[in-house]
Chain A
Amino acid sequence: DAGVIQSPRHEVTEMGQEVTLRCKPISGHNSLFWYRQTMMRGLELLIYFNNNVPIDDSGMPEDRFSAKMPNASFSTLKIQPSEPRDSAVYFCASSLFGLHEQYFGPGTRLTVT
């Protein structure tokens, strides 16, 4: 079975540009999570969805960040405008609602220059 799919795997952009990260959860999973990992702060939860509905976005750092889940098989995380401090690895994870085991995608390494 396919795991969590993320695209792109690497993104290099200039400050001020819009960045869109994409995620396809494991088929049948109905909870989806976006995390960010940096050396300084470790792995942090940004936002999560249950059954396509955003439940908790308190981890989203600023209004420049937004996330959507238009259907059960697709989610986006958008940063507009991007800043150098947004450089990090962004992971998407999914789980089956009611179970707590989360499975991570390969991540998107974002570099903002």
Chain B
Amino acid sequence: QKEVEQNSGPLSVPEGAIASLNCTYSDRGSQSFFWYRQYSGKSPELIMSIYSNGDKEDGRFTAQLNKASQYVSLLIRDSQPSDSATYLCAVNKSGGGADGLTFGKGTHLIIQP
């Protein structure tokens, strides 16, 4: 079983709609969860972090975490063509200090004008 799983897509969403990206993870001991955005040919860019169950909102982005279901999601409201990118879900096992991240393979999101 893969440690972090995402649907590779592509996920096509019309401009102005809500894009919903999902991620599941296998290690119940995971403590920290992240969403990175990666444009083609560029490096991953951190857009959201979440550490406790529930929702966390930042502008047009909302991250949702459900540790019981081992499920993380990212909602993008009012989607814009500039949101078209690959979104990587990442998980950190450590409850403190700094550890490496385990990444999913990413979901390719396309926002249709």
Q: Mark B97-113, 1 if CB is under 8 A from A, else 0.
A: 11111111110000000
What 0/1 readout, one digit per residue, does chain B (48-83) give for beta carbons within 8 Å of chain A?
010000000000000000000000000000000000
- The tally of CB-CB contacts under 8 A between chains A and B is 57
* Residues in chain A within 8 A of chain B (CB atoms): 31, 33, 35, 42-45, 48, 50, 55-56, 59, 91, 95-107
> How far apart are the CA atoms of A91 and B106 in the complex, in Å?
16
Dominant secondary structure at the B interface: loop
Residue in contact with A31 in the complex, picked from B49, B88, B98, CB distance below 8 Å: B98
Count residues of chain B with CB under 8 A from any CB of chain A. Answer: 23
Residue in chain A with minimal CB distance to B33: A100
Give the residue name and chain of the B residue nearest to A44 (CB).
B103
